[in-house]
Amino acid sequence: MKFSEYVQYDGLGLAQLVKNKEIQAVELLELALERSAQVNPKLNAIIIPMHEQAKQRTKQNLSGPFAGVPFLVKDLFQEYQGVPTSYGSHSLKRINYTPDFNAEIVNRWEKAGIISFGRTNTPEFGIKGITEPDAWGACHNPWNLKHNSGGSSGGSASAVAGGIVPIAGAGDGGGSIRIPASYCGLFGLRPSRGRTPWGPQYSEAMHGAAMQHVLCKTVRDSAAMLDAVQGPEQSSLFTIQAPDKKYLDVIQQSPKKLKIAFNTQSPIGTKVSKDAIQAIQQTAKLLESLGHIVVEDHPKIDGLALAKDFITTWFSQFSYMQAQIKQMTGSTDQDFELDSIALAAFGAKTTATEYIHNLNNWGLYSTQMNIFFEKYDLYLTPTTASCTKKW
């Protein structure tokens, strides 16, 4: 198989070729490694190689919906036992932090048959929507190297969009799957709270706001991988209702007539680019032409208040995380980026009373969204207020 053929397939397509014995897993890995050698020096998407582990895995009798498919994991959580992990930070990189466990999401990906051969670039501790960590350097957008690939799953997005792999691990607590998907022309879904696992070291992250899944080229790959990894574990804080049908089956059914709300205005008053507005308007017209009811509307939520409450949680959670890293590694502020130090300092100033008030407000926002979705099936908005920025 030539690269021109390889890049035409999604993950399920490649897995079908392996199943049909039209190609071997080791051949797919060789193609991925060859593509990585060609483009990664410019993209800086993959920062920690796992080539030997991957080659050994091709010798195993793999099974699952993605058996034999080359894959990458994000260098934030998604730990592999025995593989150095940095979370995009000098604090962990300098001590060559190497976990002695697999993250549960990794176990489930492996059960689905993937072959991981590297860890991808991420901003320090995933706290920014742009991937440019001091520890590893900036990640570039394969569509235009002068532009960034978003964050915090920027490395995975660049790797998929750059044709290295058809699907890669990602995570999202404030847009970290959705922003890179938008900037790199991919499909990115952030699963609902509790749908995918966080164990063994966490029960959930950011009170369920942060979730792990994948970035990929096709909707069906995302659906099939969610089928493969969804469900509770020993570390789960609670068990949510299992889906009635497989996601892969559902996306192949013709949708019913939907009532869809759309909005092109920023909830915090940010200027929205003409490109973003045009994309939403064109999508709204397309949905209407397909027979759906499309209405311009928005939830009754104070966007600025929500943003403040989100940032309060974000900064406070990171302050705790930084303190844990310092305790574990003996790191000092010298080992962290300046903006990380600032975020942690702001978070440390939050009192317990303020934090509880903030969480209560999250519940009020959820109530308003529940009320909104009693009226509508979907809510269509721009992913970001503008297109990807240049460096």
Of these residues, 36, 89, 176, 340, which one is catalytic?
176
Give me the mean pLDDT over the 307-328 stretch: 97
Beta-bridged to residue 141, according to DSSP, are: 144
Of 89, 152, 76, the C-alpha closest to 119 is 76
Give me the mean pLDDT over the 160-178 stretch: 98
pLDDT category of residue 97 using cuts at 50, 70 and 90 = very high
Instruction: Say what the pLDDT of residue 204 is.
Output: 95
| Percent of the chain clearing pLDDT 90 (strictly above) | 98
Instruction: Say what the pLDDT of residue 186 is.
Output: 98
Instruction: Say what the pLDDT of residue 390 is.
Output: 79
DSSP 18-76: HHTTSS-HHHHHHHHHHHHHHHHHHH--EEEE-HHHHHHHTTS---STTTT-EEEEESS
Instruction: Say what the pLDDT of residue 389 is.
Output: 77
Span 19-38, pLDDT tens digits: 999 999 999 999 999 999 99
pTM of the model: 0.98
59 Cβ contact list (under 8 Å, min separation 6): 26
Of these residues, 74, 93, 128, 217, which one is catalytic?
74
pLDDT for residue 90 is more than 80: yes
Distances (CA, A) of 252 to 223, 248, 255, 291: 10, 7, 9, 18
Assess whether 74 carries a catalytic annotation. Answer: yes
pLDDT for residue 391 is more than 80: no
Assess whether 91 carries a catalytic annotation. Answer: no
Of 195, 333, 136, the C-alpha closest to 151 is 136
Of these residues, 36, 86, 89, 152, which one is catalytic?
152
Q: What is the end-to-end Cα distance of the chain in Å, rounded? A: 36
pLDDT category of residue 387 using cuts at 50, 70 and 90 = confident
H helix or E strand, kind and range, residue 356: helix 352-375
Instruction: Say what the pLDDT of residue 225 is.
Output: 99
Give me the mean pLDDT over the 128-141 stretch: 97
pLDDT category of residue 75 using cuts at 50, 70 and 90 = very high
Mean pLDDT of the chain: 97
Q: Could you tell me the CATH superfamily of domain 3-251?
A: Amidase signature (AS) domain (3.90.1300.10)
Burial class for 244, CB neighbours closer than 10 Å (0-12, 13-18, 19+): exposed
Beta strands (DSSP E) in 75-179 are 115-120, 140-141, 144-148, 167-172
CA–CA gap between residue 233 and residue 198 (Å, rounded): 9
pLDDT for residue 115 is more than 80: yes
* Boundaries of every domain in the chain: 3-251, 259-297+375-380, 303-374
Of 229, 218, 123, the C-alpha closest to 161 is 218
Burial class for 72, CB neighbours closer than 10 Å (0-12, 13-18, 19+): buried
H helix or E strand, kind and range, residue 354: helix 352-375
Instruction: Say what the pLDDT of residue 32 is.
Output: 98
Span 278-306, pLDDT tens digits: 999 999 999 999 999 999 999 999 999 99
Assess whether 176 carries a catalytic annotation. Answer: yes
